[in-house]
Each structure stands twice: as structure tokens, then as C-alpha cells.
Structure 1
């Protein structure tokens, strides 16, 4: 198997179902029919190239902390400078320019609701612009990774369902230290969970047991390779938003979530009169025309043409990193 073929398998096949065992890279190597050293070398190369952000955990929203999507309407001549101001806050993990009157969109994550609100207030004060706060209300597409094989099919093992939020409980000291260690990603060593255990101050078995439990409980949505879409050629990124009647938003969200090519789908609140839209979905493609055609086809086939909508293509990626809960 060529390095290019192994790269594709690592990027596409192991975004989920990553082996949670003492020597996971040896297990990946056995599945791929190559040496463990080759897997580690290729993952490190992919990380240096920016094609993967890390190997590790994606935590479910609102299960161990608090987060929200936020937006600002910034004068174009001030956008770059204000984006730098926003990026200085460690609570900000994604920050994009999008085509809209609200042209700066970012995600803010913190260890608690109180810390989240404090961070939002500080960002708003530092930026000198009103902040549109759009917390997640309901998620219809559970993040199980990003298909790179061109068909965008959802895994059969991941049925779309309404995901009821469970109020987060405070982390104990062991859990807090483990979350901090996981934020940096899995070390690319032969016994990575042993390295994490030494950082946390416990046994390797305790780390593995807690990660498995968090995965089973839905606190970790997936554990595996975290890819970076832009570096993999998916540079046409559109946030499609609709104004759906409240009584129909859940059914519409569940239908949209099943569609190939829809990588995220969720409900957020309207903020009237500034923002009228309550159903969001993300569609990625390699070229803009492909995404635009997909949106036209989706809206026609799913009978969404009577609902107000907006398409917010990404223009500039100012920041993309993992969420910081602690």
C-alpha cells in the first residue's frame, strides 16, 4: 500500500472508531497492514501539513462546559483588526469571515456558563461591536466525522435522532486534568494513553476506562482523527440558514441531517429583529458552484423554497483550533 493510500485511510476511516487500547497505533497498523512506525510517521506528517488538527476527542456541546456561536457586523475596513482582537481570547476556537451583513462568526467555549458569559462580555467590550449570541438549542446531525470519499453518506451506525441535552455536572479534579490533557490531542507515541496518564497523575487503565465511559455516555461524540477541511481541498464552506416555523423545525432538521453533504445541522434561537433564522446547516464542497447547486437542489426537493433563507459562504479563516474547556 502506498503512503498516499495509507494517508487516505488514516484521514477517512479513522475519524471515528479509533482503537481505545494501550497501543492504538499498533492496532491501526495491523488493520492497514503496515508497520506501527509508518503510521506514526504519516500521522506526524499530516499534522505538520495542517491536514489534521490532532488525534483525539470531540466533546459534545453542553456536556462538560458551555459554548455558543456568536456573530458581529463589522465595517469591512476594520474586519481584520477586529478578528485579531477576538482571536486573542483563548475561549474562541473558530473564527471566520462570512458573506453577510453579520460578517464575523466565531465559537466561544468555556468550562461553565458563568465563564462563558464573562468571556462574551469581555469580547464585546474589547471589540466595541454588539454581539449576536446564538447558543445551540437542538442538534440534529451528530458529528461523526467528514467523509472524504466523495459520497458524503452518513454511517448506518449513526441514526439521526433528536439529541436531548443532559445538564453538565461539575468535573472532579481527575476529570478536569484529563480534559486539559485531551485538549492537546493524543501524543503520537507508541503508548499515548500512558503519556496522558503521566500528565494526569493516574494509571493508563484509568485514562482508558474514563474515555470509554465518556464515549458510551455521549460526553465524547467521537474519538479519532480530526481533519481540517480547507487543507484537504474542501474550500467552499457554506452555512445555510432557514427561518422555519417553530412547529416544523424539528422535523425539517431531522430530514436535512440525513442528506449527503450536510456536515452539521442544528437549531439556534432567533434574535429579532436582527436575526430571523433558526435552522442552521453546514455544507462543504471543493468548489463554490458545486455547493450552490447542492443548496438549490436541496431546497427544491425538500420543499423549503417558501421559507426565508440565507447562504453565508466562508471567505477568511481567522482561527481554527480545538475547544478549550479548562
Structure 2
């Protein structure tokens, strides 16, 4: 297998269904028909080059902590300074400039709702800007990875239908230490779960059992390679928002969630009069015209022309990283 083909297989095929066993990289190597050292070496190169952020867990929102999407309308001449102030908070894991009056968008996560609200207040004070708070109400497209092969959602598991959120329960000390270790990503060693176990202070089997249980319960949405789409050539990133009647938002959310090219789909609250939109989805492409055409086609085919909408293309990526709950 060529290095280019191996690159693609690792990036595309193992964003989910990662082997949860004592020697997972040996298992990957066997599936790919290469040496274990080749897999470890390539993953380290992909991480160093910024094409992946980590190998590890993607936690479901609202299951082990609290999170929200937030936005600010910042004067263009102040944007860089305000973004820098926001980035100083470890609770902020994504921070983007987007094309809109609300031009700074970021995600804030914390271990509890109280800590989240405290962080939001501190961010608002440090930035000197009022904050638009847009917590998740319903998630229609569960994160199953970012397809790189042009097949959209073909080959992915069946879409996960919306479910009532289970209130997060407090983590015990073992779980808190394990979440802290997983936030850093899986160590790129032959026995990575053994390394995690030594950091947490338990047996390797306990780490694997708890990760498997969290995956089965939906606390971990997926476990595998976490790619950085911008570095892989998907530089046209748009947030498409609609004002959908409340009675129809669940049905439309599920329809959009099944569409190729839609990478995330959520319901969030309107904040009137400044923000009238309640259904959000993300669409990525390699060029802007491709994304614009996809949005126009979706809106026409799904009869959304009469629904108020906005398209917010990303301009500057100020920060991108994994969520930090502890």
C-alpha cells in the first residue's frame, strides 16, 4: 500500500469503529496490511502536520458536562483583540470569525452548568461585548465523522434519531481522571490504554471497559481519528441557519441530518429580536461555489424558500481544539 493510500485509509476509515483492545494500532495495522510501526509513525506525522487533532473520544454534549454555542457582534477593528481575549479561556475550544453582523462564534464547555455560566460571564466581561447564548436543544445529526471519499453518509451507521437528553450525572473520581486523560487524546504507543491506565491509577482492563460502556451509552459519540477538515482541503465552511416553525423543526432537522454534505444539524433557541433562527447545520466543501450551490439546491428541493435564513461562511479560525470538561 502506498503512503498516500495509507494516509487516506487512516483518515477516512477509522474516524469511528476504532478497535478498543489492548493493542489497537496492531489491530489497525493487520486490517491495513502494514506494520504497526508504520501506522504509529504515520499518525504522528498527521498530528504534527495538523491534519488530525488527536486519536480518541468525542464526547456527546450535555452528557458529562455542559456546553453552548455563543456569538458576539464585534466591530471589525476590534475583532482580533476580542478573539484573543476569548481564546485565553480554556473552556473555549472552537472560535471562528463568520460573515455576519454576529461575526465571532465560539463553543464553550465546562464540567457543570454552574461552571459554564460562570465562564460565560467572565468571557463577556473580558471581551467587553454582550454575548448571544445559543445552547443545544436537540441534536439531529450525531457526529459519526467527516467523510473524505465523496460518498457523504454512505457506509455510515444508520442515522441516530433524536432522543431526549439524559441529564448529566456527576463524575466519580475515577471517571473524572479518565475524562481528563482522554481529553489529551490517545497516546501513540503500542499499548495506549495501558499508558492511560497508569495516568488514571487503575488497570488497563478498567479503562477499556469504561470506554466501551460510555460508547454503548452514547456518552462517547465516537472513538477514533479526529480530523481537521481545513488542513485536508475542505476550506469552505458555512453555517446555514433557518427560522423553522416550531411544529416542523424536528421533522426538518431529521431530513437535513440525512443529507450528504451536512456534517452537523442542531436545534438551538431563537434570541429575539437579534437572532430569529432556530435550526442550524454545517456544510463543508473544498470551494465556496460548491457550498453555495449545495445550499441553494437543498433549500429549493426541501421547499425552504419561504423560511428566513442566513449563510455564515467562516473567515478566520482563531482556535480549534477538543472540548475540555475537567
Q: TM-score by structure 2 length? A: 0.99
Deviates more, 1:160-169 or 1:37-46: 160-169
Deviations 1:44-69 (A, max 9, x none): 00000000000000000000000000
What is the CA distance between 1:154 and its match in structure 2? Answer: 4.5
Q: Tell me whether 178-187 or 153-162 shows the greater mean CA deviation.
A: 153-162
Task: Provide the C-alpha distance between the structure 2 equivalents of 1:295 and 1:177, rounded to a whole number of angstroms.
Answer: 43
Give 1:91-240 correspondences, 5 Å limit. 91-240=91-240
Separation in 1, partners of 2:159, 2:76? 42
Q: Counterpart of 2:61?
A: 61
2:298 aligned partner: 298
Q: Pairwise mapping of residues 9-24 of structure 1 onto structure 2 (< 5 A)?
A: 9-24=9-24
Query: How far 1:163 moved relative to its partner?
Result: 2.4
Mean Cα deviation higher: 154-163 or 45-54: 154-163
Distance 2:205 2:154 in 1: 32
C-alpha contact 1:63 1:168 (8 A) present in aligned 2: yes
* 2:6 aligned with 1:6: yes
Q: Within 1, Cα distance between the matches of 2:230 and 2:241?
A: 21
Cα offsets for 1:230-268 (capped at 9, x unmatched): 000000000000000000000000000000000000000
Shift of 1:156: 4.8
Distance in 2 of aligned mates of 1:132 and 1:153? 32
- 3-state SS, counterpart of residue 15 of structure 2: coil
Task: State the partner residue of 1:32.
Answer: 32
Distance 1:305 1:15, change over 3 A: same
TM-score under structure 1 length normalisation: 0.99
- Write the deviation string for residues 259-298 of structure 1: whole angstroms up to 9, x where unpaired: 0000000000000011000000000000000000000000
Runs (5+) with no aligned partner, structure 1: none
Answer yes or no: is the 8 Å Cα contact 1:98–1:313 preserved in 2. yes
Which deviations, in whole Å up to 9, do the C-alpha atoms of 1:114-146 show, x marking residues without a partner?
000000000000011000000000000010000
* 1:35-54 matched pairs, under 5 angstroms: 35-54=35-54
CA-based RMSD: 0.6
Verify the 8 A CA contact 1:135 1:269 in the aligned structure 2. Answer: yes
Contact between 2:144 and 2:156, CA under 8 Å: does it hold in 1?
A: no
How far residue 164 of structure 1 moved from its aligned partner, in angstroms, is 1.7
Secondary structure, aligned partner of 2:319: strand
Q: 1:280 to 1:154 in 2, by over 3 A?
A: farther
Give the secondary-structure state (helix, strand or coil) at the position aligned to 1:319: strand
Q: CA deviation at 1:153?
A: 2.1
Are residues 1:314 and 2:311 paired? no
